[in-house]
Structure 1
Amino acid sequence: MAQSAQTGNAEQGLGEIIVTATRREQTLQATPLAVTAISSEALTARGINGLGDIANGTVPGMQFAPFSGTPSILAISARGIGIADSTQGTQDLVVPLYIDGVPLGRAQGLGLELIDPERIEFLRGPQGQLFGRNAEGGAVQFVSRRPSGQFGFDTSGQVGNYGHDRERLRVDLPEFANLRLQGSIVHSQHDAYTKNEPKGVYSQQADYGYFDSFGFRIAAEWNPFDGFRANYAYDDSSIKDSQPYLVWTPVSILGVTPYSPMPAGTDDYPERVNSPTYNQFFRTKAHGHVLTLQYDLSNALTLKSITSYREASRHGSSTLGDALVAGASSTGIVRASGGREDVDQNQWYQEFQAIGSFNRLDLTIGGTYFREKVSDQRRSYVTGPGLNAPALGLTPAALSGCIGVEFCMTGRSEQHAKTDSYGVYAQGTYTPPILDDRLELTAGIRYSDDKKVAVRTYIQPLALPPYTETSPSGPLPPPALFRAKRWDPAFTVKYNFTDEVNAYVRYATAYRAGGVNVRSSDFSSYDEEEVESLEVGLKARMFDRRLSLNVAYYHQTVKGLQSVFQEQPTVNPALTTSVNLAQPLKVDGIEAEAVLRVADGLTLSAGYSFIDTARYQDYDNPLTAAVDITRFYAVQAPRHSGNIAADYETPDLGMGKLVLHLDYALSTGHWTTPGGLPVVSLAPDYSRPQTRTNMMNGRIALRDIPVGSMKGEVALFGKNILNSTAYTFGFDGAASGGGFGEFLPPPFSYGIELRIRY
């Protein structure tokens, strides 16, 4: 469990964890929410360099899935509420990521390497009152390390298999003129897992699973007089990566199994592809400024301003390669090659807060403004042809309409979206003078005025290929408009049975903004998705604070579920439409976390999550006749998931301390993408493949080695020690009919790390 980040020893018990889940600093055990906090030390021990390294089960109720297998873009899901396609510039997130108080509007960049974190907070359940739009399933808060004002540095380097190397450096400068400065830099890369050989057939022929990331951050803190603080930070990150190789699992539908060049039951990355394929790198970039001003008017009242400007982009191409053929009769002559994605985004964010404590009332009020502009361009291709059948004498020039072209464009669209969102919120906690001050009543409400306008500026005309970038556009649809003005309340009743045991009941609502599916042919908009939740929780520390136990039960109803359907005819997997389902989705769940300080230096931790989405499955397809019952699949919602971990630290051995960590995360079968398959087309022997989590990581280190006036560390680490091949992202074969495409997780990796601190 992530709360193994707590500090302390066997005599004093587990230490306190401070979080800001309620917009004010509060101990985790006193916060009446389901919250998990992971410190920087725990992130290092678990080998978490980015959010994509968090295995399902590590944070109860939350899942982090790399979209199409690429680590540069993530789909974050929570409590049975998922997202089908996190790449789209006109579709909003289910769980937003906040970096030092600033929300990231796009998933592009969520998979970037973490630059110098102090901790990460995972808030579960609707957070619409304090966090606003899109905090439907919860919120993730990334808290960066502040400049210390004292000279020091922390640097480390790693090397491992698959050509892995990672270098990190943080430097703090001495304070001068009330100014503190800090700089951090990180670089990480590894070689591809599958070679794309022989070379030279396509100009874009990258290997599969390559990764190269670079980022830096500069931070400054200015304290010109008592009570006032100004913090400025600029961060810049980039990733060059290619998706892992797509493997293929044949699935029987009506007894038809189409051709697949991949052998059935492939459970590991092949060393190289069986024929060269078109495969382009993705390049993801993000950078941003944030200025935070804080002024303590008195001991009871603090004013705060957060101003930020950020940009993010992602350019590259996904490929379906050998694994997904264009049709059952093609026998590999024509292969779908996925599509190119070009997304550019910029955003402004402004928030004002007033945080006060008055006698028996803690009050937080604030206002927010969010403006976002997004450009989203999509192109789909077919590679070919004939590279699997040279005996037939087929060459790239043999495909009619694609003469002289190594891949053939089958679809293209361009669209631009602009969002303006205003919010005003207030939340207060009152302790009435009864029951020995053990009762706390919290009420919060937020008003949102949310508007999004999306305009399609190009659509490929209905004509025979070849298509070019200068082809005139086909008929353009009218702009897609989303508008919502809404109130989202929250109420919490908390009772402190003792100083160490409390229970709470919380009611809350939140929403995910509507939008439009960039892959749809008619470009019709859909409305917001909203959730209403009732949560009952218990938080306790026992046995002289040697044991902490947090448990939560929730029941939530999702209305206007934003569902994705394959358009008819289903021969083009790039054409999908999003609509709001009329039927509500009801989800029940249980989450539990425990940390036990067994003995001096030994800590055991565990977490568990149960999610019941059994009532999710069968609804009428709103795009067809009412009798066309469609089976849906909850995204990233394993019924059971959890983790266990052990941390052991020896006393000082004279040459340092021996520190050991081992963690294991698991989950039962679940789907990573929605189904939306007509029930009448499924044969009795059809079984849509599910994935599972079976992930083990470990680290052993000799820490605090005396190196003059510095401290050294030597560590050995292993990730995915069990070499699990349960896929991280998969989808139905669409036109291919009888198969399931799967992206596997990174294979077992290991390495050594050297670290010096001063």
Structure 2
Amino acid sequence: MALRHECIQRASTIGSNLKDGGPRRRWAAMLVLTSALAAPGLAFAQDDGALDIVVTAQKRSERLQEVPIAITALSADALDNAGATNFSGVVNMTPTLNSVPYVTNSDTLVLTMRGQGEADADKITKDGSVGIYVDGFHRSRAQGALFDLADVERVEVLRGPQGTLYGRNTTGGAVNIISKKPSGELGGKAQLTYGNRDYVRLLTSLDLPAWNNLSAKFSFLYSEKDGYVKNIGPSNDYGELGNLAGRVALRWDAGTGFVADYQFDKGRTRSTPPYYVNPSLVGVVPGYSDDPYQTYRPVDLPVSKTDYDNHGLTLSWDASDLVTLKSLTGYRELKAHSFTDLTVALGLPTFPYNIDQERRLKNREFTQEFQLVGHSGDGRLEYTIGLFYLDERGSNALFQNLTLPFGMGTVVTDRRVRATSESKAAFAQLTWTPPVLDDRLELTFGGRYTDDKKTAARSIVVNGFAVETDIRNRQTFNRFNPAFTANMKWTQDLTTYAKFSTGYRAGGSSEGGGDFTLTYGPEKITSYEVGLKSQWLDSHLLFNLAAYHNKIKGLQIDIPVDAFDPSIVDTQNIGSGTIQGLEVELIARPARDVSLTASYALVDTKVDTLLVPVGSAFDPAVNPGSPFAVGQNIADRFVIPFASRNTLTLSGDATFLRVGDNSFSAHADFRYQSGFYGAAGAGPAVPGREFYHAPSRETVNGRITWARALEGGSEMRVSLWGQNIFDTRNKQFIIAQGDTINGFVSQAAPYSEPATYGVELGFKF
């Protein structure tokens, strides 16, 4: 009882200090706290409630509390308990990871971690700050990122620059989704879910017995959900989402230390985009309404489709007791055909124009990675050495109709971009335990050399006239990124670490830039981090803390060039910034049937310097209306976008009744995220910057489950669940009308999904 009282006091103190507090938030937080707070992502090794979490973040199996990395680990059971069936569920369980649906379609996400991300998510000429991996295979593009988490073993979220262990160099962090491998024994599961808005989800998997050391596993997924914004016409509603996918996993264990894993998955997501509303147009456009539940007029809205094929081959050979060699060969094909009708929402009150778009993206990605993982015979030395190669080629076509008001006609734009990206890297990490301090000190040295080459070509036709024809650019970058960590194990249950790391995000070119020959260079980060990992009460309580200070040079900033056409955006890396923060995680299991967690993240951001570059929209030679001079510091005109200052997550699991082979359990979780600005050009000196501000948001989810053990180790489950049970509607990817020079005058934004609820039936054997 004392432990529960202490947890409630701490979490209540954090909640009371959050900005924009209100009765609903305090009531919702208390509801979750008194439900018993759950621990997402735990692998409980002991029935008495002791916590033992195993991760592979450093390419070897290690206890989470012994890894000097800021990491969140989410197990399959935790994801199931929380009803996290897609990537948004992972975001909801990780305080420093934030996302909003992109403007074009509902299966593309804008991801940020520790304040770093990529706002213009559908551009193939740009790289993101957060790396996404599936079984160690890199996924370059954000299209289809809202994939269903089918048959997942665990998810590991690594925070901070990732360069010495992961394939692609990223500055914000990495998310690795690890699927369940074939077991070689007969088994399987089936889940059928039904909810409101005709939500249906069917997931099945089948493990077959091994034959001649060959194991196989098959998975199938189907899901469909109606939209949440009614189209008053005969076409599709806004916010629809569905998945159809299949997966084959094969494992051959030669029995001599050699294991080969092959996986192939193929799928399609079907979606319609978010629906934008603009209150300033009410009474200006005849019949216009900013009702977020239905369109103000009939809209012809086709379904967007994203198709993907993924192949992955992992070869692992234990050459000796000390050395393991690995090869990871991946290939991915992606095709996305999306439709967006923004109606008049992006128009100015004095000039309400209509925008509809069609986009066709094709992309293929080949990756090859070699790893040598080993340790010395005396255990004082552990190392990982690797080579990484990426070859990516794609095309992206935009077809846009900008219909002007007052019968002024339509501007029809046909923009086509081709791009290639080649990245080569060599990386190494070495951990040494010197023979001092009773072997409690570990020193880790890491380094990575990256060489990137990029090419791009663009053609534009406006109203049948060729504006550009095959305008090209070519870039080459290289960078060495060092890292160092000192990890001190003061006791078996208390560890602290200090870490210095650097990261790099390759430069590129802006598909929608005014001048396609103007490219931008790499974004570079230097990170200083200290952390504490501790266990208390015989490992029934975990308390972890990380504090970091990041300096960024060559900030990649998106700058709107045309106040009327949102597809015209320049990206330039100018200036420097600072991002610093604090992350706290409290995990407890006071009893076998009760689990608790509270996680809090503070992110503080600042644009330090931003000098007006030649050829930009702020250059008076390009834009005579600009009041600035080349070289002038205009940092006060910019912010780090999509960075919430405060994020709090609370969740809880409790098995409250056991009767024979039956058990009854409950889960609840709560997430609070403070407001943020949805564009870089909404700094404190910009008039009307509040139009780019997204207010704070909060979500409460819940689930009650009846489980029954059957003969032969089988199990049946029935769950009643609700997502966003208080039906809070939050503004998502905001687009303000105006520009950074003159200010903003209105706002268009879609609203988040309303409450969903339903029942899930599950069976496994």
Q: What residue in structure 2 maps to residue 391 of structure 1?
A: none
Question: SS of the residue aligned with 2:564?
Answer: coil
- Are the equivalent residues in 2 in contact too, given 1:452–1:483 (CA < 8 A)? yes
- Whole-Å separation in 1 of the counterparts to 2:497 and 2:707: 40
- Whole-Å separation in 1 of the counterparts to 2:287 and 2:639: 28
- Are the equivalent residues in 2 in contact too, given 1:240–1:284 (CA < 8 A)? yes
Q: Are residues 307 and 652 of structure 1, via their aligned partners in 2, closer, same or farther at CA, if it must alter by over 3 Å?
A: same
- Are the equivalent residues in 1 in contact too, given 2:692–2:735 (CA < 8 A)? no
- What amino acid sits opposite 1:113 in the alignment? D
Q: 2:543 aligns with which of 538, 549, 568?
A: 549
Q: 1:716 aligns with which of 717, 720, 723?
A: 720
Give yes or no for the alignment of 1:304 onto 2:326: yes
Q: Are residues 384 and 52 of structure 1, via their aligned partners in 2, closer, same or farther at CA, if it must alter by over 3 Å?
A: farther
- Structure 2: segments with no counterpart, 5+ residues: 1-36, 619-627
Q: 2:513 aligns with which of 506, 511, 520?
A: 520
- What amino acid sits opposite 1:459 in the alignment? I
What are the equivalent positions in structure 2 for 1:67-78 lying under 5 Å apart?
67-68=102-103, 70-78=105-113
Give yes or no for the alignment of 1:40 onto 2:76: yes
Q: Are residues 239 and 488 of structure 1, via their aligned partners in 2, closer, same or farther at CA, if it must alter by over 3 Å?
A: same
Q: Are residues 562 and 98 of structure 1, via their aligned partners in 2, closer, same or farther at CA, if it must alter by over 3 Å?
A: same
- Whole-Å separation in 2 of the counterparts to 1:728 and 1:55: 15
- Whole-Å separation in 2 of the counterparts to 1:641 and 1:649: 28
Give yes or no for the alignment of 1:363 onto 2:383: yes
Q: What residue in structure 1 maps to residue 22 of structure 2?
A: none
- Whole-Å separation in 2 of the counterparts to 1:383 and 1:615: 37
Q: What residue in structure 2 maps to residue 89 of structure 1?
A: 124
Cα deviation, 1:240-292, whole Å, max 9, x if unaligned, reads 100132122449xxxx996596556x5xx32x322112433211122111010
What are the equivalent positions in structure 2 for 1:488-499 lying under 5 Å apart?
488-499=481-492
Give yes or no for the alignment of 1:282 onto 2:304: yes
- Are the equivalent residues in 2 in contact too, given 1:248–1:262 (CA < 8 A)? no
Give yes or no for the alignment of 1:612 onto 2:599: no
- Whole-Å separation in 2 of the counterparts to 1:10 and 1:367: 39
Question: SS of the residue aligned with 2:371?
Answer: strand
Q: What residue in structure 2 maps to residue 416 of structure 1?
A: 418
The Cα of 1:521 is off from its aligned counterpart by: 2.6
Q: What residue in structure 2 maps to residue 444 of structure 1?
A: 446
Cα deviation, 1:576-606, whole Å, max 9, x if unaligned, reads 100011x210111000111111223111101
Question: SS of the residue aligned with 2:65?
Answer: helix
Give yes or no for the alignment of 1:739 onto 2:739: no
Give yes or no for the alignment of 1:692 onto 2:696: yes
- What amino acid sits opposite 1:220 in the alignment? L
- Whole-Å separation in 1 of the counterparts to 2:683 and 2:302: 30
Q: Are residues 616 and 209 of structure 1, via their aligned partners in 2, closer, same or farther at CA, if it must alter by over 3 Å?
A: farther
Q: Are residues 708 and 100 of structure 1, via their aligned partners in 2, closer, same or farther at CA, if it must alter by over 3 Å?
A: closer
- Whole-Å separation in 2 of the counterparts to 1:10 and 1:32: 24
Question: SS of the residue aligned with 1:453?
Answer: strand
Cα deviation, 1:607-633, whole Å, max 9, x if unaligned, reads 000001144698757532336946223
- Are the equivalent residues in 2 in contact too, given 1:153–1:171 (CA < 8 A)? yes
What are the equivalent positions in structure 2 for 1:591-630 lying under 5 Å apart?
591-615=583-607, 620=612, 623-624=617-618, 625-626=628-629, 629=634
Q: What residue in structure 2 maps to residue 660 of structure 1?
A: 666
- Whole-Å separation in 2 of the counterparts to 1:381 and 1:616: 38
Cα deviation, 1:632-686, whole Å, max 9, x if unaligned, reads 2322211111101111124641242112110000011112333357946x16x95
Q: Are residues 592 and 686 of structure 1, via their aligned partners in 2, closer, same or farther at CA, if it must alter by over 3 Å?
A: closer
Percentage of pairs with the same residue? 32
Give yes or no for the alignment of 1:510 onto 2:531: no
- What amino acid sits opposite 1:71 in the alignment? S
Question: SS of the residue aligned with 1:733?
Answer: strand
Q: What residue in structure 2 maps to residue 703 of structure 1?
A: 707
Give yes or no for the alignment of 1:382 onto 2:402: yes
- Whole-Å separation in 1 of the counterparts to 2:642 and 2:38: 20
- Structure 1: segments with no counterpart, 5+ residues: 200-204, 387-398, 402-407, 462-466
Q: What residue in structure 2 maps to residue 341 of structure 1?
A: 359
The Cα of 1:451 is off from its aligned counterpart by: 0.6
- Are the equivalent residues in 2 in contact too, given 1:494–1:502 (CA < 8 A)? yes
- Are the equivalent residues in 2 in contact too, given 1:670–1:690 (CA < 8 A)? yes
Question: SS of the residue aligned with 1:131?
Answer: coil
- Whole-Å separation in 2 of the counterparts to 1:295 and 1:364: 14
Q: Are residues 654 and 701 of structure 1, via their aligned partners in 2, closer, same or farther at CA, if it must alter by over 3 Å?
A: same
- Are the equivalent residues in 2 in contact too, given 1:133–1:513 (CA < 8 A)? no
The Cα of 1:196 is off from its aligned counterpart by: 1.7
Q: What residue in structure 2 maps to residue 459 of structure 1?
A: 460
Give yes or no for the alignment of 1:238 onto 2:268: yes
- What amino acid sits opposite 1:563 in the alignment? I
- What amino acid sits opposite 2:308 in the alignment? A
Q: 2:86 aligns with which of 50, 54, 57?
A: 50
The Cα of 1:538 is off from its aligned counterpart by: 0.3
- Whole-Å separation in 2 of the counterparts to 1:73 and 1:688: 20
Give yes or no for the alignment of 1:181 onto 2:206: no
Q: What residue in structure 2 maps to residue 393 of structure 1?
A: none
- Whole-Å separation in 2 of the counterparts to 1:520 and 1:12: 60
Q: Are residues 3 and 349 of structure 1, via their aligned partners in 2, closer, same or farther at CA, if it must alter by over 3 Å?
A: farther
Q: What residue in structure 2 maps to residue 329 of structure 1?
A: 350
Q: 2:244 aligns with which of 214, 218, 222?
A: 214
- Whole-Å separation in 2 of the counterparts to 1:557 and 1:520: 27
- Are the equivalent residues in 1 in contact too, given 2:717–2:761 (CA < 8 A)? yes
TM-score, normalised relative to structure 2: 0.88
Q: Are residues 33 and 678 of structure 1, via their aligned partners in 2, closer, same or farther at CA, if it must alter by over 3 Å?
A: closer
Cα deviation, 1:669-711, whole Å, max 9, x if unaligned, reads 112333357946x16x955432322011111101134378632
Q: What residue in structure 1 maps to residue 338 of structure 2?
A: 316
What are the equivalent positions in structure 2 for 1:38-187 lying under 5 Å apart?
38-55=74-91, 58-68=93-103, 70-187=105-222
Question: SS of the residue aligned with 1:88?
Answer: coil
Q: Are residues 249 and 677 of structure 1, via their aligned partners in 2, closer, same or farther at CA, if it must alter by over 3 Å?
A: farther
- Whole-Å separation in 2 of the counterparts to 1:164 and 1:44: 17
Cα deviation, 1:192-219, whole Å, max 9, x if unaligned, reads 21222233xxxxx432111121111100
- What amino acid sits opposite 1:286 in the alignment? Y
Q: Are residues 597 and 87 of structure 1, via their aligned partners in 2, closer, same or farther at CA, if it must alter by over 3 Å?
A: same
Question: SS of the residue aligned with 1:175?
Answer: strand
- Whole-Å separation in 1 of the counterparts to 2:47 and 2:491: 21
The Cα of 1:372 is off from its aligned counterpart by: 0.3
- Are the equivalent residues in 2 in contact too, given 1:248–1:260 (CA < 8 A)? no
TM-score, normalised relative to structure 1: 0.89
Question: SS of the residue aligned with 1:108?
Answer: coil
- What amino acid sits opposite 2:418 in the alignment? H
- What amino acid sits opposite 1:513 in the alignment? A
Cα deviation, 1:57-101, whole Å, max 9, x if unaligned, reads x31322122212843111211111121211111111110101111
Q: 1:228 aligns with which of 258, 264, 278?
A: 258
Give yes or no for the alignment of 1:631 onto 2:637: yes
- Whole-Å separation in 2 of the counterparts to 1:633 and 1:449: 30
Q: Are residues 68 and 14 of structure 1, via their aligned partners in 2, closer, same or farther at CA, if it must alter by over 3 Å?
A: farther
Question: SS of the residue aligned with 2:385?
Answer: strand
Question: SS of the residue aligned with 1:318?
Answer: strand
The Cα of 1:143 is off from its aligned counterpart by: 0.4
Q: 1:538 aligns with which of 532, 536, 542?
A: 532
Q: Are residues 648 and 701 of structure 1, via their aligned partners in 2, closer, same or farther at CA, if it must alter by over 3 Å?
A: same
Give yes or no for the alignment of 1:675 onto 2:695: no
Which deviates more from structure 2 when the two are superposed, residues 116-125 or residues 596-605?
A: 596-605
The Cα of 1:53 is off from its aligned counterpart by: 3.3
CA-based RMSD: 2.5
